[in-house]
Amino acid sequence: MDRLVNTVRPYAWGSTTAIPELLGIAPTGEPQAEMWMGAHPGAPSRTERGALNDLIAADPVRELGERTVEKFGPRLPFLLKLLAAGAPLSLQVHPDLAQAEAGYAAEEAAGIPVDAPHRTYKDANHKPELICALTPFDGLCGFRNPVEAADLIAALGVDSLKPYVDLLHAHPEEAALREVLTALLTADREEMAHTVAEAHAAADRLGGDHAPYALLAHHYPSDPGVIAAMLLNRVRLQPGEALYLGAGVPHAYIEGLGVEIMANSDNVLRCGLTPKHVDVPELLRVVRFEPNELTVLRPEASPSGEEVYETPIDEFRLSRYVRAEGAAPTDVTAPTPQILLAVAGRTQAGEVTLAPGESVFVPAGEAAELTGAGTVFRATLVA
């Protein structure tokens, strides 16, 4: 197996302390938002044998296993991350596979450079994802019942928001949500800036359920995404709890440290809370305008001690082992490639000792055993 050297991405919303604290190193003072573990070309992990994406490209069957290559092609299907939000992320949504393939092909045919600021599709893959909290984790996910959203917005007492409140009481619910989000994203920017400023002051005064939106407005003054965020469910995960996000579900993370796993893609359509490009027509085509009942995932334990976070897709499978002092070794050998990430204690993966924040890549079929005491997340796939 290969110890991984991973890249930390310094996005502006990143916490300055959460990842350094996990790693046991001094903060630099700069934001440290995401640590990527995998073979994504944007920031592939490195090993003593070379970059992980290059190792896989040189011999995909050896590294990934024959079944994985047959099902997903010659690439690692998932990307694992540590995500540390010190400030709110953009309100966003991800396409399904057919939408990603069509959107990528269209932008390629149009000759839009993949790194262009107005480019929407970076690749031809979908991006379902799972976030598992390591600390209390605050976020927004999926549409609320429109009447509940109407009540939340109405309580602000902002006159210019009354038309949106009225629309949210209309039927069917899907049409109401679509009409309100469309109106928010296409409204006059100067008028919307005044509306958001009034909403910010009201949310500050009210506190309670309105406090998160005052925080959003503090970071993104004048952004219509502040009001759009009020259409979504608020979720507060406790350590060990997780949230699965499928295609078309709008979401935003507000604060906290978590382990995130996703299909190996970088396709993000932004709805707001960002200075970056918002492709409104494409966004409205991708978003699923349906109220979602929030489902918080808790791991299901197996006799082997593996605690699995069940999801409806095959590209990734996340689980964890919480090992006590003196516990018998755990065999984690698998016919699929895997990444093992330690987050607490001091454990060993084979001959490799793992401190919190350290990880290894285990090629398909290679013998692997966990020993020591601590918590280890296991990222692999269903093949």
Query: Which run of H or of E encompasses 173?
Result: helix 173-186
Among 144, 270, 320, 323, the one annotated catalytic: 270
Cross-strand partners of 307? 301, 320
Whether the CA torsion 280, 283, 285, 291 is positive or negative: it is negative
- Within a 13 Å sphere around the CA of 261, how many CA atoms are in the beta-carbon half? 25
For residues 322 and 92, give the distance between their C-alpha atoms in angstroms, rounded to a whole number.
Answer: 32
In angstroms, the Cα distances linking 347 to 47, 151, 247, 261, 323 are: 19, 50, 35, 21, 9
For residues 262 and 130, give the distance between their C-alpha atoms in angstroms, rounded to a whole number.
Answer: 6
Q: For residue 266, how many other CB atoms are within 10 A of its CB?
A: 16
SS3 category, 72: helix
Q: Is 67 a catalytic residue?
A: no
For residues 178 and 202, give the distance between their C-alpha atoms in angstroms, rounded to a whole number.
Answer: 25
Length of the chain: 383
Q: Is 113 exposed, middle or buried (0-12, 13-18, 19+ CB in 10 A)?
A: exposed
DSSP sequence for 14-55: B-SSHHHHHHT----SS---EEEES--TTS--EETTEEHHHH
Strand runs (DSSP E) across 205-306, as ranges?
Answer: 232-237, 242-245, 251-263, 269-272, 300-301
- What is the β-pairing status of strands 251-263 and 137-143? antiparallel
Query: Which run of H or of E encompasses 184?
Result: helix 173-186
The answer to whether 216 and 229 have CB atoms below 8 angstroms apart is yes
Q: How many helices (H) does the chain have, and how many strands (E)?
A: 12, 21
The answer to whether 237 and 139 have CB atoms below 8 angstroms apart is yes
* DSSP designation for 229: G
For residues 336 and 305, give the distance between their C-alpha atoms in angstroms, rounded to a whole number.
Answer: 19
* Residues catalogued as catalytic: 270
